Structure 1
Amino acid sequence: MTPQDIDLDGRRFAGVTNSADGEVGHATVFTYRQDREVIWAEYGGGAVVRGYLVGTRAGEVLRFRYSHLGTDGQTSGGVCESTIEVTVDGRVRFHEAWTWESRPGSGTSVVEEIR
């Protein structure tokens, strides 16, 4: 199965790695939804109380904006571009490049499907 063939609807993901400026970690869980080229997700856990993302998909690339409430009581948001990879065992992995819009900082992260 190729990344373009993967339907993300209903799949759950967790953070694997993140840059120092990021707030998503191992305890952060994302539940993705997909309707053709439209994607969205709700997420939370770890440093994130509640978060949402919404955007589009073109083949193996996701482009979206995210917004969340941190455990510190601050709201934050930014933009992200993710590339889909299919692991050897058939799970989905996202390689992400993100930038905060609400504060200084940017980085990269990896988010992987939970089974």
Structure 2
Amino acid sequence: MARSLDGLVLAPVADQAPGQVGTRTRFAYHQRDGEVWAEYAGGDVVRGYLVGTRTEDRLDFRYVQLKQDGTTSSGHCMSTVVDLPDGRVRLEESWEWESQRGSGTSVVEQLPGLG
């Protein structure tokens, strides 16, 4: 299994659609045994939370966020944890909104020197 996500700070490698997470969003991850959770904010997101489980290199979590325009949204995400050659961690994600239409894929990576 890839190393623990506990204490790591990750960020998207590319911007998503307006009103969603983007390269200015930071995710502060926590992990205890098979539990995973994170707080996130930045860009169009004022505050967001995710909570779920980890089995080997797979994450399964729900997320909810408050956006700059005062709206909230929520969804489901499945991610694969990948150890990068330079020692950082990458999450390759497949997500789907549950509170609105839309789905897609994204990649977040550990920021160098953080976590």
> With structure 1 as the length reference, what TM-score do the two structures score?
0.92
Q: Does 1:85 align with 2:82?
A: yes
4+ residue runs of structure 1 moved beyond 2 angstroms?
A: 17-22
Give 1:28-43 correspondences, 5 Å limit. Answer: 28-43=25-40
Amino acid at match of 2:39: E
**In structure 1, C-alpha distance between the alignment counterparts of 2:19 and 2:33, rounded to whole Å:** 29
In the TM superposition, what is the alpha-carbon distance from 1:88 to its structure 2 partner?
1.1
User: Counterparts of 2:84 and 2:38 in 1: how far apart (Å)?
Assistant: 21
Say if 1:11 and 1:113, in contact at 8 Å, map to a contact too: yes
Q: How many pairs are equivalent?
A: 112
In 2: Cα distance, 1:83 partner to 1:22 partner: 24
CA distance in 1, matches of 2:90, 2:2: 14
TM-score (norm 2): 0.92
5+ long unaligned stretches in structure 2? none
Per-residue CA deviation, residues 89-114 of structure 1 (Å, 9 max, x unaligned), is 01000000000000000000000001
Give the match's secondary structure for 2:77. Answer: strand
Aligned-pair RMSD on alpha carbons?
A: 1.3
Whether 2:10 is the aligned partner of 1:16: answer no
2:45 pairs with one of 39, 45, 48: 48
For the residues of structure 1 that align with 2:107 and 2:30, how far apart are their CA atoms? 18
**Residue 17 of structure 1: how far off its partner (Å):** 2.5
Aligned equivalents of 1:83 and 1:21: distance in 2? 25
Question: Matched residues, percent identical?
Answer: 54
In the TM superposition, 1:70-81 aligns within 5 A as 70-81=67-78
Q: Deviations over 1:46-85 (max 9, x none)?
A: 0100000000000000000000001111100000000011
